[in-house]
Structure formats: C-alpha cells, structure tokens
Amino acid sequence: MALMDGKVGIVTGVANDRSIAWGIAKALHREGARITLSYQSSRLLKRIELLAAKINADFIEVDATDPEGMVRLATKAGHLGGIDFFVHAMAYADREALNGRFIDTKPEAFSEAMRISCYSLIEMVQVLESHLKPEASVLTLSFEGARRTFQNYNLMGAAKAALEASVRYLAVDLGNKNVRINALSAGAMRTVAGSAIGSARFTYQWLEKNTPLGRNPLLDEVGNSGLYLLSALSRGVTGEVHHADCGYNTVGMVCPKHDAPA
C-alpha cells in the first residue's frame, strides 16, 4: 500500500512545473493521495488545468486577498469530507521593496507582504480548522532568508521570519486537535518566486558552490521532503522548520572544498 493511500488534501501556490508546490504535489500523487490544486487567478487557469490532468487533481481558484477564495477553500474541504493535508505555498512582496535598502521599506509594501506571505497561512488554517482530520498535517514554505540576510531578499526575509514564528504558535493551537504544522525551507530553486529577486542568478550560483553537497536541491528532492512532513512518517514532528537545501543552512563560511583559498 502506498504511503498516502486514502488521503485527501489541498495544495496551493502551484504556478508552473518548477514550483516547489508542484514538486510536493507530484510526490503526494505518487504515493496515492487525492489532491486539489488551487491557483491564484484566471490567468493561470489553463496552466493549472494541464498540470492537474497529470496527477488527476481537481482545482479551485484561491486568491490570498479575496474573501470569496477563503469561502471556496472551506467549501471544497467540506465537500471532500475533511482533509488530511494542506500545503500553503503563497508569498508576495513588491519587487521594488526587494531591492535597495531594507530601511527604506514603505508601510504599504510591508503590510501587503505580511498579509499575503504570512497572515494568509493563519487565515487559511482558521477557515480549514474544522475540516482538518485527526492527525492531519499542514505545511508552509520558507527560506533561509528568514534567519540570515540575502542580497535583495529584504522584506521577504522579514515576512518569512514572521511565517516561521507563526508556525510555532499554530503548532500549539493545532496540537490540541492532534494536527501538525511545519515549514519546509528549500535552498535556491529556479521558481517564479525566486526569479523575482534581483540577484537571483548570483544567489543560485553562490549557494550551489557553497553547500556541503556542492549543489542545489532538485525539485523532486524538495517534494519528497514535503511528502515526509505531510505523511505519517513525521507523526512526532510539529512546529519545526525542515531544511532541504543540501546543507547550506549549516554553513558559516565558504566551503573550503569548493572554493579553497589560494
């Protein structure tokens, strides 16, 4: 029997076949899960239809800032008879707020980034709480920029830090219902979100050169880490930030074996 046989759930934030959420969805499907994908707006519908067909998934429109999307999310969970897993993969910050100096961040940009990148997790858990089955698992996506500075990550780093803190507090609230929640912190990935960072290519190459494994993680590897956190394999794990970054989060200086000094 496959690991996720009989399990049903919702995966948000799939933009294309390079999305981390898509890697997780593929891993869940491979192990027998029944999945509903959510997409942000009608401009992504055709792309989501093609991806959903590959994993026999349903799909619904959910915009993190649209109250009607929250209603659709809860309604879908109800129609499924409850859900065993939920993946929150939504984040946004104005491109201008990612460049320049963090100290110049405008209040409007700060509020928008926090609303979409952090509070949307809290709000979605609120509307889904009564539909989460016992031993259900919730997963959100973070990045090492939540803990350490990265060039042109700025406001998103603050938003991800708030997201990770929210995971810890939500773990306490959901633990009383025997529901778990964790964050998955992937390394540099060639995703739509990653390409919005001004120094994306430099960051990707730097991490690739300086991880202990000497490379960046593959999408399938990150997807399998997501599968672990959403399955019974991690039943004793909650409130954690799990790194799937080829070890970069452990590095305190340039790895000598990859860039030995002259």
Report the catalytic residues.
153, 160
For residues 93 and 117, the answer to whether their CB atoms sit within 8 Å is yes
Q: How far apart are CA 169 and CA 174, in angstroms?
A: 9
Kindly list the distances between the CA atom of residue 49 and the CA atoms of 63, 138, 241, in Å, as whole numbers in the listed order: 17, 24, 31
For residues 31 and 3, the answer to whether their CB atoms sit within 8 Å is yes
DSSP H or E run through 69: helix 67-79
Residue 128 CB-density burial (10 A; 0-12 exposed, 13-18 middle, 19+ buried)? buried
Number of CB atoms found within 10 A of residue 17's CB: 13
Kindly list the distances between the CA atom of residue 89 and the CA atoms of 18, 139, 258, in Å, as whole numbers in the listed order: 13, 8, 32
β-strand partners of 36: 10, 58
Q: Which two tokens stand for residue 93?
A: 């910050």
Residue 11 CB-density burial (10 A; 0-12 exposed, 13-18 middle, 19+ buried)? buried
> Which residue's structure tokens are 């491979």?
30
